[in-house]
Amino acid sequence: MSEASQRLDKWLWCARFFKSRSLAAKFCDEGRLRVSGHVTNKAHYSVRPGDVLTFPLGPHIRVIKVLALAVRRGPSPEARALYEDLACPVSLDSKLPNPDIGRRDSGAGRPTKADRRALDRLRNEPDDE
């Protein structure tokens, strides 16, 4: 008995992770994608429900569990039903531990040179001199 499967690039495109199937195939060929812990560099790799995909997408690492195979590339709610996001997106380059550091209140005026240097020290950035 053969279990239903689908090409990896087609599933990624139908699940709306990529704008075109050719971009999905190109991404698969780069070898930066893992299927159930195994690195794959083939766009024709077969995915099945229950497989876990791990891949970088933008500044985030996505961990996705395949719940269903795609019949077509439908609207966004239909695409979200194809997978379960196992990990909330974790940023690859979170430069600042708190994004509110250095934010000024509206109407507080322009920072002085001493204020700017204090903010640079807080952010661990070198002075521009």
Higher pLDDT, 96 or 3: 3
Please name every residue paired with 102 in a beta bridge, in sequence order, or none if there are none.
Answer: none
- pLDDT tens for 79-129 read 999 999 987 655 555 554 566 666 777 777 888 899 888 888 887 766 555
* Full DSSP string of 18-78: SSSHHHHHHHHHTT-EEETTEEE--TT-EE-TT-EEEEEETTEEEEEEE-S--SS---HHH
* Global pTM exceeds 0.75: no
Domain boundary assignment for the chain: 6-91, 95-129
CATH number of this structure's domain 6-91: 3.10.290.10
Mean pLDDT of 2-25: 91
- Quote the DSSP letter at residue 90: E
Please name every residue paired with 14 in a beta bridge, in sequence order, or none if there are none.
Answer: none
Please report the pLDDT score of residue 81 as a whole number: 93
Decide if pLDDT at 21 tops 60. Answer: yes
